[in-house]
């Protein structure tokens, strides 16, 4: 497994070799089966419960037995790992993030310590183009921190400082640059 830390942390890519990809697909399959079994069990638990719905339980199980569907899902996740953006719960978007899901299967977390709000902020600052580099985003955050401080917008200031510190640490630890002082 090779992690290519990107200037945009939301775009860091994880590349697996052929054997690792096979293991990943098997692990992803086990997760899907387990989750389908849990959902089915929930809808079969007790006849008196509102959730009792054998048809629904059956559809979960049917879905889990769709071998091609499971393979496709694992392949989609591999594509996300290699070239996708983090987008979902991790960036305050109301959907699950495939990249996080895949990283979880690999037992890694390339966004460790970054809150959802901070990740959302990075998403906005970087945008979806490759043209925005880490220095540019750090610079934009410095301006924001100074402005929010001047206007006494405490919450905004604290959030911007948090993202700034995280990104600065990311830059040093993952990208290997020397730390520069705040407001240099
Ligand atoms: Zn994510």
In a domain, 140, yes or no: yes
Does one domain contain both 87 and 137?
no
Does one domain contain both 41 and 80?
yes
Q: What is the pTM of this model?
A: 0.86
The answer to whether residues 90 and 11 touch, using CB atoms and an 8 Å cutoff, is: no
What residues does 2 pair with on adjacent strands?
Answer: 15
What residues does 4 pair with on adjacent strands?
Answer: 13
Between 152 and 171, where is the model more confident?
A: 171
Cα 97 to ligand 1 centre (Å): 5
Task: Tell me which H or E stretch contains 2.
Answer: strand 2-4
16-58 pLDDT tens trace: 999 999 999 999 999 999 999 999 999 999 888 888 999 999 9
* Torsion sign over Cα 17, 14, 1, 5: positive
Cα 136 to ligand 1 centre (Å): 22
Domains of the chain: total: 2
CB-based contacts of 15: which residues, under 8 Å, 6+ apart? 1, 2, 3, 4, 81, 82
In a domain, 48, yes or no: yes
Cα 158 to ligand 1 centre (Å): 23
Does one domain contain both 21 and 78?
yes
98-150 pLDDT tens trace: 999 999 999 999 999 999 999 999 999 999 877 899 999 999 999 999 888 77
Cα 72 to ligand 1 centre (Å): 20
Cα 152 to ligand 1 centre (Å): 32
Cα 39 to ligand 1 centre (Å): 23
Give the separation between CA 87 and CA 84, rounded to whole angstroms: 9
| Average pLDDT value for residue range 66-76 | 93
């Amino acid at each position: 497994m090779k992690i290519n830390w990107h200037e945009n942390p939301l775009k860091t890519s994880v590349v697996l070799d052929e054997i690792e990809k096979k293991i990943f697909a098997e692990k992803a399959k086990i997760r899907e089966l387990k989750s389908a079994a849990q959902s089915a069990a929930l809808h079969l638990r007790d006849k008196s419960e509102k959730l009792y719905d054998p048809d629904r339980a059956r559809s979960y199980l049917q879905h889990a037995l769709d071998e091609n569907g499971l393979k496709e899902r694992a392949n989609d996740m591999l594509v996300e790992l290699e070239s996708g953006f983090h987008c979902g719960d991790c960036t305050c978007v109301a959907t699950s993030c495939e990249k996080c899901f895949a990283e979880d299967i690999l037992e890694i977390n390339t966004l460790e310590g970054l809150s959802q709000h901070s990740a959302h902020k990075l998403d906005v600052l970087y945008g979806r183009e490759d043209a925005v580099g880490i220095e540019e985003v750090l610079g934009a955050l410095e301006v924001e921190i100074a402005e929010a401080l001047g206007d006494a917008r405490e919450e905004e200031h604290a959030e911007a400082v948090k993202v700034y510190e995280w990104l600065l640490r990311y830059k040093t630890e993952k990208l290997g640059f020397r730390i520069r002082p705040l407001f240099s």
